[in-house]
Structure formats: structure tokens, C-alpha cells
């Protein structure tokens, strides 16, 4: 009787809509299926929103660009060879020299310093466990563990092998995730990061916020005095990797500053089979540990 009344007083199309709604609403299994389907769509949409939000947050995190650049360099920069001119100042006395540096990843490095007319004056080989320094002018050689203390007595720069292997690749030494963002400069594209290694030293890192390349690295002692400062300038893309062509080192406590101006940089060319140099038979290296 109810159906007949609806047919009399409601237009056929409206009656059909009502009958459909009635069937959908009161058919519980079918209704449950519809709800489950809708919940699936809601869950999918919610997941997409969450992922999108995390991506936006990651892009906004200043440390992201620094870590991305460091990871990329660590994976892509396998071998580098740099031929450069050097200006070396020790206790206000400046001399010029030429430098040939070769690095196989972070595993080993070889460096040769030459003076006027290409005459070799010093050579250095090091890996993570051993270093050998040949002072050609003095006719002596020193070997030992490449810690910051031992190498600084030989090269006058407060750098360990790990420091050399990182900083000369324009990468931060140590665990980069321990650097925390300190400041963004509104008038430039620079970001400042800070890391406290232990109570005796604090490191600062200034990088380009567009690509994460390092502009300056600085290490201070517990008194806040600069132990080491390295400035990277005039980056050039070589084999797809950004490399600084000018690197300036300054160690005020030791009265030493060095400016390295690259004349030629090779990236990921064939690695020499042997990077360690032989010593003359007449020289017995001194051991420094």
C-alpha cells in the first residue's frame, strides 16, 4: 500500500531514487562493502598527505641539502688529481711552490711539493693507518700513524689523514649528521652549521644552501681560538662534480697559511697502481707515533 501511495503522489523518477536508496541503506552486507571501499580511499588519501608533508618538511630542513651533497660526493668522487700553485706563509715569510696531489677516494693520498725549476722538495704519502714524509731538502724521512698531532709536526698544519681525505675533497670530516643548523643568512645563499666534537673543540661549517657545497670550514679550541680555517672558492663542475679551484688554509696558532690555486683538476680518471713513493736506500725513516 505504501508503494502504491508513493506511485500516486511522487514522480516516477523520484520514486525510483527512493527505492534505490532504500535498497542500498537497508541491505547491510552491501552497505558494509561500500563503507570498506570508502575507508580504503580515505586511508590512501591520508597516506599520500602524510608522505607529501614529510617530503615538504625534509625539503625545508637546512641540513638536507648539506647531507645530500656530502652523500653524492662520497659516492661519485672516486679519484682526483690536482696540479696547483701554492703560496705558503710561515711566520710572516712567504714562498711560492707547486703541488701535485692525488687522492684515491678516502683511502689514500700522495702529495709532492716542488720549488723553482720543478725541483722536488718534499713528498707525503698517507692512508688511514700509516704515513711517510720525505723531506728531500734535509735528506730525511719520517713515518708513523697519521694522527693530527704527528702529521702537524711534519706538515705544520693541524690535519690528520681523515682531515686531509675529507677537507681536500671539499667534504666535512667525521659524521656529517652531527652538524646542527645554527643560522640562515637572509642577505645571501649561505647556511651556518655547528658541531661540538668534544669539550676541546667545536667545528663550524658554512655552505651554499642551493647545492650544499662548502664555502668555509673552521675549527676552534675550547677557548674559542681558531685552530684551523679553510675557505673554498670558485667552484667548477668537472665530470659532473663541483670542485673548488681555490682553497685557502689558515692556522693562526701555528702562524701558517697556505693558498692553493688549481691549474688542472682531473676527476675519476684512471688511478695509479702505486701511490706510495720509494725512499733512497741511504735514508732510514724515523718513527713517530
Q: List, for residues 23-40, the tens digit of each pLDDT value.
A: 444 455 554 454 445 545
Q: List, for residues 238-253, the tens digit of each pLDDT value.
A: 999 999 999 999 999 9
The whole-angstrom separation of Cα 260 and Cα 245 is 8
Strand ranges for the chain from DSSP E = 79-90, 93-104, 108-114, 120-127, 131-135, 140-144, 180-184, 190-198, 201-208, 214-221, 226-238, 241-251, 256-267, 286-288
Q: Looking at the predicted structure, is the pLDDT value of residue 69 above 90? A: no
pLDDT of residue 20: 46
Domains, the chain, ranges and CATH?
2-60 (no CATH), 63-288 (2.50.20.10)
Q: Looking at the predicted structure, is the pLDDT value of residue 126 above 70? A: yes
Residue bearing the bigger pLDDT, 283 or 66: 283
Q: List, for residues 160-171, the tens digit of each pLDDT value.
A: 999 999 999 999
To which H or E segment does residue 49 belong? helix 28-60
**pTM to 2 decimal places:** 0.76
Mean pLDDT of the chain: 82
Residue bearing the bigger pLDDT, 118 or 125: 125
Identify the weakest region by mean pLDDT among 81-85, 180-184, 232-236: 180-184
Amino acid at each position: 500500500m505504501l508503494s502504491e501511495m508513493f506511485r500516486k503522489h511522487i514522480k516516477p523518477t523520484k520514486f525510483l531514487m527512493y527505492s534505490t536508496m532504500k535498497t542500498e541503506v537497508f541491505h547491510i552486507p552491501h552497505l558494509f562493502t561500500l563503507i570498506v571501499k570508502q575507508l580504503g580511499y580515505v586511508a590512501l588519501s591520508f597516506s599520500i598527505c602524510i608522505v607529501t608533508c614529510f617530503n615538504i618538511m625534509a625539503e625545508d630542513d637546512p641540513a638536507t641539502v648539506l647531507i645530500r651533497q656530502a652523500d653524492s660526493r662520497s659516492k661519485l668522487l672516486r679519484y682526483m688529481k690536482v696540479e696547483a700553485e701554492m703560496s705558503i706563509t710561515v711566520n710572516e715569510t712567504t714562498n711560492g711552490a707547486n703541488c701535485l696531489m692525488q687522492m684515491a677516494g678516502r683511502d689514500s693520498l700522495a702529495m709532492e711539493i716542488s720549488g723553482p725549476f720543478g725541483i722536488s722538495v718534499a713528498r707525503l704519502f698517507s692512508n688511514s693507518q700509516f704515513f711517510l714524509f720525505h723531506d728531500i731538502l734535509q735528506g730525511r724521512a719520517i713515518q708513523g700513524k697519521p694522527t693530527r698531532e704527528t702529521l702537524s709536526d711534519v706538515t705544520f698544519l693541524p690535519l690528520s689523514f681523515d682531515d686531509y681525505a675529507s677537507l681536500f675533497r671539499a667534504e666535512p670530516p667525521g659524521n656529517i649528521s652531527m652538524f646542527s643548523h645554527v643560522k640562515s643568512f637572509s642577505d645571501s645563499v649561505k647556511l651556518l652549521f655547528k658541531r661540538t666534537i668534544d669539550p676541546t673543540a667545536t667545528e663550524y661549517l658554512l655552505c651554499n644552501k642551493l647545492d650544499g657545497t662548502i664555502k668555509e670550514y673552521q675549527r676552534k679550541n675550547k677557548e674559542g681560538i681558531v685552530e684551523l680555517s679553510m675557505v673554498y672558492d670558485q667552484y667548477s663542475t668537472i665530470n659532473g662534480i663541483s670542485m673548488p679551484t681555490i682553497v685557502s688554509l689558515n692556522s693562526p696558532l701555528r702562524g701558517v697559511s697556505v693558498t692553493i690555486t688549481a691549474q688542472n683538476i682531473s676527476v675519476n680518471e684512471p688511478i695509479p697502481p702505486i701511490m706510495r713513493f720509494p725512499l733512497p736506500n741511504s735514508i732510514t725513516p724515523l718513527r713517530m707515533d
